[in-house]
A and B are shown apart, each in its own frame.
Chain A
């Protein structure tokens, strides 16, 4: 059974990815990014990342500063955060202890990957558009965030 992610997960993911919480929640409805990340990446890494994030929120840090702190070279959660960003952007995930075992857990994870929105396109192989749409420019960038 899929567990409903805590709202902190979406807030933190929004800072890391640049996408709105609304977009992330819609993606999560179709593909379980939260639960599958926790399961495949393993250990308590996601819990540690969330703990790091919540502590900075409670300390009153600004979102941009929180992002920088999470991803700082000396940060103990930077590696986890970047793995989560790759998962959100590409639908690709590997176990923490075997980064070569990168995989796409499901077709829906690929289809919901954010990179396609970032480049104002649709996932290659998953178009819901109509004949000829490619002859005119897409909607503005911000509409995709």
Chain B
């Protein structure tokens, strides 16, 4: 039985969507309760930073609890109160050849699933490669800060190119909400840089628009690559480098300093020059109308006879791993908002109604799971670009985000890294081990030389100061079969079912053609750089297929040619409760309100019908501003 309404609105999740919504509602006098599954400690940035510095593998989750403990059974996902996917959990996924030997073996999948928070069906061909955080501030703790608007075509893929689906919103309808999001996050950019892309991407800004802060300068490496690719064309469009709009300060603003280029934006900005949602959460709470309960894990929603949500059941836990105490509680409000990310939000809805699920008349809940599939192209420049300095990424190739080619293949943007081959090859660590021990794991030491003294320092300098890494964020086609359900036999430490995922990529020719295009563009760029002057026996392009455990890959044939490709996650989890034009084929409407439950809103990139070609956080924020107006309007009528 639900308790009497005490709050106007109950929000589940204290990430960017939940925090913005809370702030907007409280600003208009609404009383808001936020339930956050994870912990919060106002002194945690220092300890998170220390965890990062001493972590051997500096992965997106490394600074944040619960921590990775290898194969220690005391810390398996069935022991933790709020486990979440971690990159390290995918290290047990075998290389492609070994995976083929699995041949759908349930026993092999069972062994993998035991140590992975995300569990998989035996028809899965690739683990879902992206992760998120469960703590106050959410995944913005480890976001990169890239704050691109989507293009007009991104919203109209079906009507413009006959591919994918349309959104029930157009870009101009979001102009004001994008501006609000850029103001709140604090985006540093020059609108002139972005307008220069109009020949490729169309208009993205109204007349007279200016970003909140000046742009962040491009790095030496970015400028060098920009000069190199001048004049190159791919799919009949120019390759152009553009300074990226970034959610990090270029000046002192809102009590936070300007970026000092720590280069660790993923996973943590030690000085909070990069925006994260704790900023907005604090603002929301300062109204004295917002209460945040942490370590409060929502288990299900109660539905009244008229379809309205009448209660939010949750477990408030204390204690430590292996020794939790949890109290079952219920909160209620006139309106309930799930802002728990694209996986956990689905889980809550599926756990409701006696685990038969709610909000799923369309059959789309949990389906269309998407990410930007990342193809990493990397190699050496002949000139020193001096990476490992500055924001982790400050520029990109954006001119291929849209074009007529989208009738036949998915588009991509290229995130140009400022941290050498760190993502692709764990450098400078790997090359250092190689040149000291005489190994060649980095492919930089085929002669297996063992160096010491100044020769060692010089060789490391020669390689690492010339490293280039291109990350193609390939648009993934939404597929109904890529789906989240509840595991029937694997649980977390509070006995809640873990997500079960069915996931594959090779079923979409549209997506695969985008991956092939990424590989071809990489070849084009390194061909332009020319012969390798400093490692004369090497190719410039070091990108290669890796068949080792922890490097999930796919194999496919396209136009008579066989491809083997490793893929990486962008952290852009989307599509699992898509918005649409009707309740027959979507879960929420254009205001993010659930078609079936009129006082239930679902926020976050789970509402995206398509993954598009931009990083999602800015649009998550913009859609939250849009939804907040609808919530305020509903509050007057409920």
Contacts of B390 in A (CB 8 A): 133-135
Look across to chain A and name the residue whose beta carbon is closest to the beta carbon of B463: A119
| Interface window among A36-44, A48-56, A84-92 | A84-92
Whether B262 pairs with A126 at a CB distance below 8 angstroms is: yes
Interface membership of chain B positions 238-257, coded 1 if the CB is closer than 8 angstroms to chain A and 0 otherwise: 00000000000011000000
Cα-based distance from A115 to B459 in the complex (angstroms)? 11
| B534 on the A face (CB < 8 A) | no
Whether A104 pairs with B53 at a CB distance below 8 angstroms is: yes
| B597 on the A face (CB < 8 A) | no
Contacts of B461 in A (CB 8 A): 118-120, 141
Whether B432 pairs with A86 at a CB distance below 8 angstroms is: yes
| A1 on the B face (CB < 8 A) | no
Cα-based distance from A85 to B460 in the complex (angstroms)? 13
Look across to chain A and name the residue whose beta carbon is closest to the beta carbon of B55: A104
Distance from B635 Cβ to chain A, minimum over Cβ atoms (Å): 42
Whether A110 pairs with B460 at a CB distance below 8 angstroms is: no
Look across to chain B and name the residue whose beta carbon is closest to the beta carbon of A18: B454
Look across to chain A and name the residue whose beta carbon is closest to the beta carbon of B262: A127
| A2 on the B face (CB < 8 A) | no
Contacts of B251 in A (CB 8 A): 131
Task: Output the residue of B270, B436, B458 with the most chain A CB within 10 A.
Answer: B436
| A145 on the B face (CB < 8 A) | yes
| B403 on the A face (CB < 8 A) | no
Cα-based distance from A124 to B263 in the complex (angstroms)? 5
Cα-based distance from A90 to B268 in the complex (angstroms)? 20
Q: How many A residues face the partner with a CB closer than 8 A?
A: 49
Distance from B436 Cβ to chain A, minimum over Cβ atoms (Å): 5
Which of B386, B422, B433, B454 is in CB contact (< 8 Å) with A138? B386
Which of B52, B384, B454, B460 is in CB contact (< 8 Å) with A125? B52
| Interface window among B2-10, B214-222, B319-327 | B214-222
Whether A124 pairs with B419 at a CB distance below 8 angstroms is: yes
Whether A121 pairs with B270 at a CB distance below 8 angstroms is: no
Given A86-B433, A89-B436, A125-B262, A133 and B389 contact (CB-CB distance below 8 Å):
yes
Contacts of B420 in A (CB 8 A): 119
Chain A residues 59-84 with CB under 8 Å of chain B are 64, 67, 71, 82
Cα-based distance from A16 to B451 in the complex (angstroms)? 9
| B49 on the A face (CB < 8 A) | yes
| B437 on the A face (CB < 8 A) | yes
Chain A residues 102-145 with CB under 8 Å of chain B are 102-107, 110-111, 114-138, 141, 145
Given A102-B56, A107-B54, A134-B217, A90 and B262 contact (CB-CB distance below 8 Å):
no
Contacts of B56 in A (CB 8 A): 92, 102-104
Cα-based distance from A145 to B458 in the complex (angstroms)? 10
Look across to chain B and name the residue whose beta carbon is closest to the beta carbon of A70: B452
Cα-based distance from A1 to B79 in the complex (angstroms)? 39
Contacts of A138 in B (CB 8 A): 386, 389
Whether A135 pairs with B219 at a CB distance below 8 angstroms is: yes
Contacts of B391 in A (CB 8 A): 134
Chain B residues 177-223 with CB under 8 Å of chain A are 216-220, 223
Contacts of B216 in A (CB 8 A): 132
Look across to chain A and name the residue whose beta carbon is closest to the beta carbon of B250: A131
Distance from A38 Cβ to chain B, minimum over Cβ atoms (Å): 20
Contacts of A124 in B (CB 8 A): 58, 262-264, 388, 419, 422
Whether B220 pairs with A104 at a CB distance below 8 angstroms is: no
Interface membership of chain A positions 1-33, coded 1 if the CB is closer than 8 angstroms to chain B and 0 otherwise: 000000000000001111100000000000000
Distance from B212 Cβ to chain A, minimum over Cβ atoms (Å): 16
Contacts of B49 in A (CB 8 A): 107, 125
Contacts of A15 in B (CB 8 A): 452-453
Given A107-B50, A120-B465, A124-B388, A18 and B455 contact (CB-CB distance below 8 Å):
yes
Given A82-B436, A135-B217, A137-B220, A119 and B388 contact (CB-CB distance below 8 Å):
yes
Cα-based distance from A127 to B269 in the complex (angstroms)? 11
Given A15-B453, A116-B388, A131 and B258 contact (CB-CB distance below 8 Å):
yes
Contacts of A16 in B (CB 8 A): 452-453
Cα-based distance from A7 to B429 in the complex (angstroms)? 28
Which of B54, B261, B455 is in CB contact (< 8 Å) with A106? B54
Contacts of A120 in B (CB 8 A): 386, 461, 465
Distance from B329 Cβ to chain A, minimum over Cβ atoms (Å): 39
Distance from B412 Cβ to chain A, minimum over Cβ atoms (Å): 25
Whether B53 pairs with A90 at a CB distance below 8 angstroms is: no
Distance from B17 Cβ to chain A, minimum over Cβ atoms (Å): 27
Whether B389 pairs with A64 at a CB distance below 8 angstroms is: no
Contacts of A137 in B (CB 8 A): 220, 384, 386
Contacts of A85 in B (CB 8 A): 436, 452, 456
Contacts of B460 in A (CB 8 A): 115, 118-119
Contacts of A82 in B (CB 8 A): 436-437, 450
Cα-based distance from A92 to B436 in the complex (angstroms)? 13
Cα-based distance from A19 to B453 in the complex (angstroms)? 7
Cα-based distance from A129 to B260 in the complex (angstroms)? 6
Cα-based distance from A127 to B265 in the complex (angstroms)? 12
Cα-based distance from A120 to B462 in the complex (angstroms)? 11
| B464 on the A face (CB < 8 A) | yes
Contacts of A121 in B (CB 8 A): 263, 386-389, 464
Cα-based distance from A17 to B452 in the complex (angstroms)? 6
Look across to chain A and name the residue whose beta carbon is closest to the beta carbon of B268: A125
Which of B53, B219, B388 is in CB contact (< 8 Å) with A107? B53
Distance from B204 Cβ to chain A, minimum over Cβ atoms (Å): 25
Distance from B443 Cβ to chain A, minimum over Cβ atoms (Å): 17
- 21 contacts across the A-B interface (CB closer than 8 A): A15-B452, A15-B453, A16-B452, A17-B457, A107-B49, A116-B388, A119-B388, A119-B428, A120-B386, A121-B388, A122-B389, A123-B53, A125-B52, A126-B53, A126-B262, A127-B260, A127-B263, A131-B251, A134-B394, A135-B218, A135-B223
**A residues engaging B (CB < 8 A)?**
15-19, 64, 67, 71, 82, 85-86, 89-90, 92, 102-107, 110-111, 114-138, 141, 145
Besides the contacts A119-B464, A123-B53, what 13 more A-B pairs have beta carbons closer than 8 Å? A15-B452, A64-B453, A71-B450, A89-B432, A90-B429, A111-B53, A114-B457, A117-B457, A119-B460, A120-B461, A126-B262, A131-B251, A131-B259
- Closest 4 interchain pairs by CB? A134-B390, A125-B264, A18-B454, A121-B388
